[in-house]
Amino acid sequence: MRKYLLVLSFLIGCLFLSCSKDSSPTNVGLQSSLTLRDTVALMNYPFEKNGVASIEGWQLSDTLTKKYLSFSNDVPSDGGSYSLVIQSDSGKFFDLRYKIIPPSSTYIKRFRYSYESKILNPDSAIIFVRVGLYGSNDYIDYTAIGITRADQWRTVNGISDTTSTKIDSLIIEISTTSNNMNTKNYFDNIRLIEEDYN
């Protein structure tokens, strides 16, 4: 239930803030007095492995939704050979997750992420990648950046900061809203970088 409430609040925010095709970073509130200690590349996922289309490491929220997944040779300029395509049935919400354990125990972190995406035959569709932050006991925070009606490949960038709680894991989540059966949502090159500060 919490997931759907968060998604609903995100979509409402998009309507009021007009989610852009090329989103600029948000949550840039780390104190200027902090010093960058280390940068770690946590993820660089092109949806292929050894030249073969792949979603290895990703988990579907519902195994039945696998039928909505396919791959395409339509890729961004810096992509490989394949991109991921999601084409949901009308009225279905789609969710695909990837869990990451950060290597350090630093409390003050900035997570920078980006992905490339586009929508063909959009029907008021919003697609987005969400980064969820988890502490030792519970869900802490999330940030989600999306695009609407982008019929060309777009790079979308986001930032999530934490300054008081140790992050034990992150969930990268690809989500699409319910949309017309003709709508195709393309994703490629999902990247995540951790910056540690002191």
Per-residue model confidence as pLDDT tens digits over 163-182: 878 888 888 988 876 656 67
pTM to 2 decimal places: 0.78
Report all structural domains of the chain as residue ranges with CATH numbers, in order of start. Answer: 2-197 (2.60.120.260)
DSSP element (H, E) containing 143? strand 139-148
Residue (of 191, 197, 113) closest to 162 by Cα position? 197
Assigned token pair, 58: 């990703």
Mean pLDDT rounded to a whole number for the chain: 77
DSSP element (H, E) containing 100? strand 94-100
**pLDDT digits 0-9 by tens, 177-192:** 665 667 888 999 999 9
Residues 142, 172: Cα–Cα separation, whole Å: 10
**pLDDT digits 0-9 by tens, 133-156:** 888 767 677 777 777 667 889 898
Residues 128, 86: Cα–Cα separation, whole Å: 12
